[in-house]
Amino acid sequence: MIRLNKALDAWGTPGFQDILKLEIEQLGAEQLPLQQGLSTGSYAVDNRLSAMILNVTEVDDAIHAKAGIFYTGIIAGCSCADDPTPVDENTEYCEVQLDINKITAETTVALLTE
């Protein structure tokens, strides 16, 4: 379970979005739906993950944040010794919805599709 404790602690302060951005960037590819958000690559890597907070709203029991994620995808070859295909990195982008419970900081993340 993802817990964004620092972001919850910062809720209502001027630094909330910066702290939320940093916590999202620290989650990495295993906890974000980056693989499902690929548009050109076949494998998501998180060596250059960058988040951008697009929108934040509050309801009774949660904070809803929409974020854009920039990350790297690669087109993986067969990794054979004679494979002529170089590993090309592509910049990928997807948008996610984060729902942060205002009591426990438990957070769900969902890929947003158009």
**What are the distances in angstroms from CA 93 to CA 72, 76, 83?**
8, 18, 28
| CA-derived radius of gyration, the chain | 16
Q: Where in the sequence is the domain holding 63, given as residue range(s)? A: 2-112
**CATH number of the domain residue 106 falls in:** 3.10.450
- Model pLDDT for residues 2-17, shown as the tens digit of each residue: 999 999 999 999 999 9
Decide: helix, strand or coil at residue 21.
helix
What's the pTM value of the predicted model, to 2 decimals? 0.87
Residue 112's φ and ψ, nearest 5 degrees, are -95, 130
Q: Which residue has the higher pLDDT, 48 or 82?
A: 48
Q: What is the spatial distance between Cα 24 and Cα 42, in angstroms, rounded to a whole number?
A: 22
Query: How high is the pLDDT of residue 10?
Result: 98
Q: What is the spatial distance between Cα 91 and Cα 21, in angstroms, rounded to a whole number?
A: 19
Q: Count of domains in the chain?
A: 1
Residue 4 burial by Cβ neighbours in a 10 Å radius (0-12, 13-18, 19+): buried
